[in-house]
């Protein structure tokens, strides 16, 4: 029946490792808050997609270059990104944590003078960390993925790192030997959104927003959050 167009098919990039938002289960299937949201929205909005997991910075670049249609990757809506992308309705509020290893002698940002801080390339938390560099006099070492970055702090090569609060809290709950120093005072980092290249893929963005409104309304969104974090958002 020619009245019914084929389902649109999209390429969506994501961060290969960003639990609890994007990660793999025992069968190597992609799961997480982002992945469950995307899957449910695609079902309701009647589109299919190929997922492209990679480093966060590459995943973001792929959409900026027009090689992928959209990105979902625990990616915060920032003013800089509004120049390059169009974003969806915000779907999860985040904040920036600064983090040291368990038993570290670092007690305040001042103690980071002359020390090395591990940051993840292209992230909002890394911009936040970089903005404090001059004031506190630390050196920066960049990593492409969160796990390698954490590990550099755990083994004592880097004295601290910056990452999003829900991401580090989930890692600590799952056994990573790190400690958040500003639990009650996170740096402002806005909210996560789904992104397309600025001015493009308007249909996909509209589908995401419509589907998101629908999963919010019937409680599916809250169920997804609860599945990964154990409490409603
Ligand atoms: N939330 C961070 C940002 O928006 C990092 C995203 C990520 O590393 N996947 O830049």
Both tokens of residue 195? 């992104």
C-alpha dist (Å) from residue 172 to 27, 146, 180 = 23, 13, 9
Q: Which residue has the higher pLDDT, 2 or 118?
A: 118
Residue 203's pLDDT is 98
Q: Rounded distance, CA 13 to CA 57, Å?
A: 11
- Write down the domain spans for the chain: 9-91+193-229, 94-189
Instruction: Name the CATH architecture for the domain at 94-189.
Output: 3-Layer(aba) Sandwich (3.40)
Residue 178's pLDDT is 98
CB within 8 Å of 147: residues ≥ 6 apart: 17
Ligand 1 centroid, distance to 18 Cα (angstroms):
8
Residue 6's pLDDT is 84
Ligand 1 centroid, distance to 146 Cα (angstroms):
10
Indicate if ligand 1 lies below 6 Å from the C-beta of 76: yes
What was the ipTM of the complex prediction? 0.97
Q: State the closest ligand 1 atom to the C-alpha of 75, by its place in the atom list counted from 1.
A: 4
Condensed to tens digits (0 to 9), the pLDDT of residues 68-78 reads 999 999 999 99
Query: Does the domain formed by 9-91+193-229 have CATH 3.40.190.10?
Result: yes
DSSP 132: T
Indicate if ligand 1 lies below 6 Å from the C-beta of 124: yes
Ligand 1 centroid, distance to 81 Cα (angstroms):
12
Residue 187's pLDDT is 94
CB within 8 Å of 191: residues ≥ 6 apart: 76, 77, 90, 91, 92, 93, 94
Indicate if ligand 1 lies below 6 Å from the C-beta of 164: yes
Q: Rounded distance, CA 120 to CA 132, Å?
A: 15
Condensed to tens digits (0 to 9), the pLDDT of residues 14-58 reads 999 999 999 999 999 999 999 999 999 999 999 999 999 999 999
Closest by CA to 115, choosing from 136, 99, 129, is: 136
Q: State the closest ligand 1 atom to the C-alpha of 59, by its place in the atom list counted from 1.
A: 9
First-to-last C-alpha distance (Å) of the chain? 42
pTM: 0.95
Condensed to tens digits (0 to 9), the pLDDT of residues 120-145 reads 999 999 999 999 999 999 999 999 99
Residue 231's pLDDT is 65
C-alpha dist (Å) from residue 130 to 85, 115, 135, 153, 173 = 23, 14, 10, 17, 27
Indicate if ligand 1 lies below 6 Å from the C-beta of 59: no
């Amino acid at each position: 029946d020619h009245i019914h167009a084929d389902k649109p098919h999209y390429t969506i990039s994501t961060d290969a490792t960003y639990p609890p938002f994007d990660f793999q289960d025992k069968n190597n299937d992609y799961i997480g808050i982002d992945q469950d949201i995307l899957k449910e929205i695609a079902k309701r909005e009647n589109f299919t997609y190929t997922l492209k997991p990679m480093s966060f910075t590459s995943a973001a670049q792929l959409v900026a270059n027009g090689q992928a249609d959209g990105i979902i990757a625990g990616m915060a809506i920032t003013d800089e990104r509004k120049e390059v992308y169009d974003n969806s309705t915000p779907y999860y509020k985040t904040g920036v944590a600064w983090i040291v290893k368990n038993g570290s002698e670092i007690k305040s940002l001042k103690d980071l003078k002359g020390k090395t801080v591990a940051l993840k390339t292209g992230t909002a938390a890394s911009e936040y960390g970089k903005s404090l560099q001059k004031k506190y006099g630390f050196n920066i070492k960049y990593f492409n993925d969160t796990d390698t970055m954490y590990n550099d702090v755990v083994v004592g090569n880097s004295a601290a790192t910056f990452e999003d609060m829900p991401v580090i809290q989930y890692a600590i709950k799952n056994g990573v030997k790190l400690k958040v120093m500003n639990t009650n005072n996170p740096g402002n980092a806005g909210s996560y959104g789904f992104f397309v290249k600025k001015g493009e893929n308007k249909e996909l963005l509209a589908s995401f927003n419509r589907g998101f409104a629908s999963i919010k309304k019937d409680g599916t969104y809250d169920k997804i959050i609860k599945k990964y974090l154990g409490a409603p958002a």
